[in-house]
Amino acid sequence: MHALTERWAHPESEVDVEHAVQRRDMDKGLFEKRTESADVPATKVSFGPFCLLPTQFLLLEGGKAVPLGSRALQILIALIERRGVLVSKQDLTARVWPNLFVDPSNITVHMSALRRALRDGQNGNRFIVNIHGRGYCFVASVDVSGNEN
């Protein structure tokens, strides 16, 4: 009985410190995966009238920032990293929402915002193609450089 009252008197002694430290480290890893673009060695990718600065997480058109959400930017970076290659919806979901279950419609919504921002399909611009049921492919030619100026 004494052990039971002792546990209630000091509930903090029940905290699994090792698990809490591991969890904090896991959360840190998730955040880093979402914000880093280590797979893109270039700091500037130009295509059409756009300039992507992946290390700054910024898309420019004519020197002005293009208003685009972070998920759509992550999709764009993932597609440009693998330009010319079909990227499945599952791969994009794993990249943009790591370790999370999200409805497949999320890719569609963010892809729509991305295409709208790029004016994809308008005025002869074609950047992203969809292979129905399989995924997306970045098809525009790009100029990759190592500096931002």
Query: Which of these ranges, 3-12, 45-54, 114-123, 140-149, has the smallest mean pLDDT?
Result: 3-12
The answer, yes or no, to whether residue 122 has pLDDT greater than 80, is yes
* Average pLDDT, rounded, for the chain: 76
Mean pLDDT of 126-139: 92
Which of 7 and 87 is assigned the larger pLDDT? 87
Do the Cβ atoms of 68 and 114 come closer than 8 Å?
yes
Closest CA to 50 of 127, 112, 136: 127
Q: Is 142 helix (H, G, I), strand (E, B) or coil?
A: coil
pTM for the model stands at 0.68
Give residue-wise pLDDT tens across range 46-87: 999 999 999 899 999 988 999 999 999 999 999 999 999 999
Nearest Cα neighbor of 82 from 94, 73, 91, 72 is 91
Which pLDDT band holds residue 147 (cuts at 50, 70, 90)? low
In one letter, which amino acid is 14? Answer: E
Read off the pLDDT of each residue in 116-125 and give the average, rounded to a whole number. 89
pLDDT, residue 31, reads 34
Distance, C-alpha 22 to centroid of its chain: 24
Task: Give yes or no for residue 15 having a pLDDT over 80.
Answer: no
Q: Compute the distance between CA of residue 53 and CA of residue 60 in angstroms, rounded to an integer.
A: 8
Listing DSSP states for 7-64 in one string gives HHH-GGGG--HHHHHHHHHHHHHHHHHHH--TT---SEEEETTEEEETTTTEEEETTE
